[in-house]
Amino acid sequence: NAGVTQTPKFQVLKTGQSMTLQCAQDMNHEYMSWYRQDPGMGLRLIHYSVGAGITDQGEVPNGYNVSRSTTEDFPLRLLSAAPSQTSVYFCASSYGEGRSSGNTIYFGEGSWLTVV
């Protein structure tokens, strides 16, 4: 069972570079989302998607883009990396509303990003 798969696990970027964090899930979940984890702040929602072709902003969307062309994939793009984006990024997925297990959210293992 693959679950939620994120790549890469570790990445070092220079300020101004762009990159994409990949996320894929094999559970046919409608909902996918990206969080960032920073010390003392817990996890904060960056962007989310309620289905293929539909995305929306979360709490801290600036500097990030997402797209959802398929149900399985939800990549997160850093347009021009800044040191403030040094963080651990988690992708998550779940079924949509109305399912009996709809409230269980599954996380990937995280991507550690450092911007220098």
Partner 1 sequence: GDSVTQMEGPVTLSEEAFLTINCTYTATGYPSLFWYVQYPGEGLQLLLKATKADDKGSNKGFEATYRKETTSFHLEKGSVQVSDSAVYFCALSGRYGGATNKLIFGTGTLLAVQP
- The site for partner 1 (CB under 8 A) is made up of 31, 33, 35, 40-45, 48, 50, 56-59, 90, 92, 94, 96-97, 102-110
CB of 65 to partner 1, least distance (A): 17
CB of 15 to partner 1, least distance (A): 26
Say if residue 11 is exposed, middle or buried (CB neighbours under 10 Å; 0-12, 13-18, 19+): middle
Structure tokens at 106: 């599954």
Say if residue 2 is exposed, middle or buried (CB neighbours under 10 Å; 0-12, 13-18, 19+): exposed
Of 61 and 75, the one with the shorter C-beta distance to partner 1 is 61
Of 25 and 108, the one with the shorter C-beta distance to partner 1 is 108
β-strands 111-115, 10-13: how paired?
A: parallel
Of 8 and 16, the one with the shorter C-beta distance to partner 1 is 8
CB of 78 to partner 1, least distance (A): 20
Could you tell me which of 64, 63, 74 has the C-alpha nearest to residue 6? 74
